[in-house]
């Protein structure tokens, strides 16, 4: 192969690294982070923008899990599951654009409400979702 062709291939590889490589790297890194522990992503949005998503989370008793709550809204939200004591003693406040990570291992089964704890809009009291914990 000529030197010129090799140079072209190197240049092409650089472009692929900068584009496809960056995209692949991003998802691999995110996967790696999520592999540390089973992760459930919850989006926090005021009611007008769609409320908690997903509105219902299914967990299994005794199985450790990480809740990753992404606030993709323009206002601050909070997170608490009062019946499980999450976010009560240490309030979880998530500013716009920020992410909270909560590691839990559910110990009792049943259906519990998870709520926003920051007055985020007129409809704030309705910003509620459900956690369903089933037996192993």
Q: Which residues bind Cu ion (CB under 5 A)?
A: 77, 116, 120, 127
Q: Which residues bind another protein (CB under 8 A)?
A: 4, 7-8, 11-12, 14-15, 17-19, 22-23, 26, 29-30, 33, 45, 49, 68, 70-74, 96-101
* Residue 134 C-beta: closest distance to another protein, Å: 27
* Residue 129 C-beta: closest distance to another protein, Å: 17
d(CA 38, CA 87): 20
* Residue 130 C-beta: closest distance to another protein, Å: 22
Which DSSP string corresponds to 24-58? Answer: HHHHHHHHHHHHTS-EEEEEE--GGGT-SBSSEEE
């Amino acid at each position: 192969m000529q030197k010129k062709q090799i140079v072209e291939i190197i240049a092409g590889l650089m472009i692929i690294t900068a584009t496809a490589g960056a995209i692949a790297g991003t998802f691999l890194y995110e996967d790696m982070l999520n592999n540390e522990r089973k992760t459930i992503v919850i989006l926090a949005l005021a009611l007008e923008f769609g409320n908690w998503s997903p509105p219902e989370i299914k967990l299994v008793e005794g199985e450790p899990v990480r809740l990753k709550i992404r606030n993709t809204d323009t206002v601050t939200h909070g997170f608490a599951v009062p019946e499980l004591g999450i976010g009560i003693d240490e309030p979880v406040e998530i500013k716009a654009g920020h992410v909270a990570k909560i590691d839990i291992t559910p110990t009792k089964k049943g259906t519990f409400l998870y709520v926003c704890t920051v007055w985020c809009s007129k409809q704030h009291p309705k910003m509620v979702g459900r956690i369903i914990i089933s037996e192993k």
